[in-house]
């Protein structure tokens, strides 16, 4: 291998080893088609559960788990995925995204999904019956989420302003650098 050439991905390494650039595209496609499998495997490993233990909990042969994790997403059966995740105490959520919508419509779909999740926290806060510690932690968490969202939104908005040549930028507002800016810590947690 040329000492100057750096392999930056699995697909680059596969192409180099095979001596064919087409292999790179095949490996990239396989990785792209294996995102669910990769996530399932990572969850199992992070929870310290072996294939054998998972198979015992699912009531199946360990070879089934091995086949699931060695395949790609197109080979999975939805029932197997649900059962696999269920025994790991992981719930599954499906988001149906209408890719024919413009980017703005797709973003709105995600915002609504986030809002639904935050409403679950409101429900928990109502159920704890005055437990101030839990309510305070939920409140702080919601503030952190809002701050993180505004920060990420501001970064993207600033990039858009740079591309469009407009001078209006969010970063100074988020950092409280403009006159009249609201104290971000106070406003997020109150």
Mean pLDDT over 66-80 rounds to: 89
Mean pLDDT over 27-36 rounds to: 82
Mean pLDDT over 154-180 rounds to: 67
* Of 179 and 81, the one with more pLDDT: 81
Position 53 confidence tier, pLDDT thresholds 50, 70, 90: very high
Q: How far is CA 185 from CA 56, 122, 150, 176, 181, in A?
A: 49, 21, 12, 10, 12
Q: How far is CA 168 from CA 3, 116, 148, 150, in A?
A: 47, 31, 20, 15
CA 183, CA 75: separation in Å to the nearest integer? 52
Beta carbons of 78 and 93 less than 8 angstroms apart: no
The reported pLDDT for the residue numbered 184 is 38
Answer yes or no: is pLDDT of 84 > 90: yes
The reported pLDDT for the residue numbered 62 is 93
Quote the tokens at residue 176: 């409280």
Answer yes or no: is pLDDT of 18 > 80: yes
Mean pLDDT of all residues in the chain?
81
Beta carbons of 37 and 76 less than 8 angstroms apart: yes
The reported pLDDT for the residue numbered 175 is 55
Mean pLDDT over 93-106 rounds to: 83
Terminal CA-to-CA distance of the chain, rounded, Å? Answer: 60
The conformation of residue 89, written as its DSSP 8-state character, comes to: T
Beta carbons of 44 and 88 less than 8 angstroms apart: yes
The reported pLDDT for the residue numbered 177 is 44
């Amino acid at each position: 291998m040329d000492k100057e050439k750096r392999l930056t991905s699995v697909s680059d390494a596969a192409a180099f080893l095979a001596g064919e650039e087409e292999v790179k595209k095949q490996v990239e496609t396989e990785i792209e088609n294996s995102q669910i499998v990769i996530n399932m495997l990572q969850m199992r490993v992070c929870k310290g559960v072996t294939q054998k233990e998972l198979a015992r909990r699912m009531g199946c042969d360990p070879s089934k788990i091995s086949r699931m994790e060695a395949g790609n997403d197109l080979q999975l059966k939805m029932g197997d995925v649900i059962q696999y995740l269920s025994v790991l105490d992981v719930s599954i959520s499906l988001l149906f995204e209408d890719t024919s919508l413009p980017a703005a419509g797709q973003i709105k779909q995600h915002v609504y999904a986030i809002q639904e999740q935050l409403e679950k926290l409101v429900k928990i806060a109502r159920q704890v019956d005055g437990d101030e510690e839990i309510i305070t932690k939920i409140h702080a968490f919601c503030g952190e989420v809002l701050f993180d969202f505004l920060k990420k939104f501001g970064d993207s908005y600033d990039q858009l302003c740079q591309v469009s040549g407009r001078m209006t930028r969010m970063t100074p507002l988020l950092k409280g650098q403009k006159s009249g800016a609201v104290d971000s810590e106070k406003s997020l947690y109150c």
